């Protein structure tokens, strides 16, 4: 199993950041690569700007702890398994958003998959920072 973690520091209270990202169906409102992200029960379908679809399962949501965990169940990405956490914590006068994942690549070197996922996380967190 391989792991990645990306953290971004945001000049807003953790509550304000969580208000934007705490609903898993809202990821399309702040991530520039995701055009739609409806949730039905525990299933989320993320449609990317290029039309590709990533099927996910929301494993848990902790409103008090300001985090949620999801896994990818079907996607065009070179992944055999993928489980990710998005977490918001207070940090000084702002917030730290940490997006991490454990994954097993499929048909591609782990370093290439880690680089791809890290780029997706960084793009989303940069867009989130710009909203504040």
CATH number at residue 76: 3.30.530.20
Distance CA 61, CA 22 (A): 8
Q: What is the pLDDT of residues 75-120, one digit of tens each?
A: 999 999 999 999 999 999 999 999 999 999 999 999 999 999 999 9
pTM here is: 0.94
Residue span of the structural domain in which 108 resides: 2-130
**Domain tally for the chain?**
1
Q: Which of 30, 5, 34, 4 is nearest to 17 (CA)?
A: 30
């Amino acid at each position: 199993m391989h792991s990645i973690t990306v953290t971004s520091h945001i000049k807003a209270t953790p509550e304000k950041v969580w208000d934007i990202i705490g609903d898993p169906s809202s990821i399309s409102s702040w991530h520039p690569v995701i055009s739609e992200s409806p949730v039905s029960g525990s299933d989320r379908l993320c449609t990317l700007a290029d039309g590709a679809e990533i099927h996910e399962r929301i494993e848990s949501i902790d409103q008090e702890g300001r985090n949620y965990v999801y896994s990818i169940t079907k996607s065009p990405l070179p992944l055999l398994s993928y489980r990710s956490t998005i977490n918001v914590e207070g940090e000084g006068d702002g917030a730290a958003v940490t997006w991490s994942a454990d994954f097993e690549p499929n048909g591609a070197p782990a370093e290439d998959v880690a680089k791809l996922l890290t780029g997706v996380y960084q793009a989303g967190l940069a867009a989130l920072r710009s909203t504040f």
